[in-house]
Amino acid sequence: MKLTIERAALLKALAHVQSVVERRNTIPILSNVLITAQKGRLSLAATDMDLAITESVEASASKTGSTTAPAHTLYEIVRKLPDGAQVELEAASDNSSLVIRAGRSRFTLQCLPPADFPAMTEGDLPHRFQLPATDLKAIIDRTRFAISNEETRYYLNGIYFHAATSGATQVLRGVATDGHRLARVEVPLPKGAGEIPGVIVPRKTVGEVRKLLDESDGSVDIELSDTRIRFSSGNITLVSKLIDGTFPDYERVIPTGNDKVLNVPCKEFANAVDRVSTISTEKSRAIKLAVAKGIVTLSATSPDAGSATEEIEVEYKDTALEIGFNSRYLLDITEQIAGSEARFLMADAGSPTLVRDGADESALYVLMPMRV
């Protein structure tokens, strides 16, 4: 195998594929990227056995063939080469090593046989549809903060995608929760997605797909079954296993009778929460909201640090209420709100609070209160 490729094109493709490769691997071949030279193309592939990515770029191949090389080392070498360099990759005839040449630089990397590189079986993917990249971006950006990190509740370690009906409209929903907060975002249901099963896309896959969306303006082709999902955009394909579990009935925790409506100027409120929470203890991050007509008083106390209070003017006309929240969770939710106003719908100090974007009804957040 022998080919020449422009540094920028190789670096961009390597950046995508090497991020799938785990830093520590007990199986050596999983630390490598599969490099395949075809006529006029270079194909790169990487996998961690749960997730596989393939990307192809233009290259000038004088000898076709394939090899595997250490992904992170190869990426670092190409990253440190000068801009505009032409990079030559040449594999030894027995595939034991790969030589990288650029200008006066020459590197030799140890290789493993491409035949050892594991192929991820996709099986039949019966459901196919196209989703605008902006819609997929919106779902991921506004829900992934609520994905659980608890490995014991593995079925919460991803975003739950499913088709649903909102009023009279058919929608595609993305939901994430960790038991303390919940995020639900809706986009118009794409053609062909009406019959999809509810699937849980793992956290790592969500992160990798999100990176690819930064460079995609059009639409993403999605194909899925009960156990696998494939995302294709341009010359990149990403295949992932789905989480094998049942996502809880999240509708039950979304309150419907919360009648105390609090409208706050979002940016001002978030800044106040951030300032006051400086005092709250590192473990609980607790902050208290004393809500009265036209005003909210934020307060935090800590036996070690002292206390803090701040008042902001708000729209509120119901009976006075005191309620406590984890300040980090409050800030995570206010960061997702695009409009100038956030709307809190509360019942009492012990019941879940509903948070909505004053300018956008497609997103909904639920936050559990805490004792302060």
C-alpha–C-alpha distance, residues 336 and 360, integer Å: 11
For residue 130, the cross-strand partners are 221
Q: What are phi and psi of 24, to 5 degrees?
A: -115, 125
C-alpha–C-alpha distance, residues 360 and 133, integer Å: 19
Helix (H, G, I), strand (E, B) or coil at 148: coil
Q: What percent of the chain has pLDDT over 90?
A: 90
In this predicted model, what pLDDT tens digit does every residue of 9-52 receive, in sequence order? 999 999 999 999 998 889 999 999 999 999 999 999 999 999 99
User: What is the average pLDDT value for the chain, to the nearest integer?
Assistant: 95
In this predicted model, what pLDDT tens digit does every residue of 243-262 receive, in sequence order? 999 999 999 999 999 999 99
Give which of 211, 151, 158 is closest to 20, Cα–Cα: 211
User: How many beta carbons lie within 10 A of that of residue 39, not counting itself?
Assistant: 8
In this predicted model, what pLDDT tens digit does every residue of 231-244 receive, in sequence order? 999 999 999 999 99
Evaluate if residue 287 carries a pLDDT over 90: yes
For residue 364, the cross-strand partners are 184, 356
Interval 147-158 mean pLDDT: 96
C-alpha–C-alpha distance, residues 298 and 332, integer Å: 17
Instruction: Say what the pLDDT of residue 283 is.
Output: 80
Q: What are phi and psi of 286, to 5 degrees?
A: -75, 140
C-alpha–C-alpha distance, residues 88 and 96, integer Å: 17
The whole-model pTM stands at 0.94
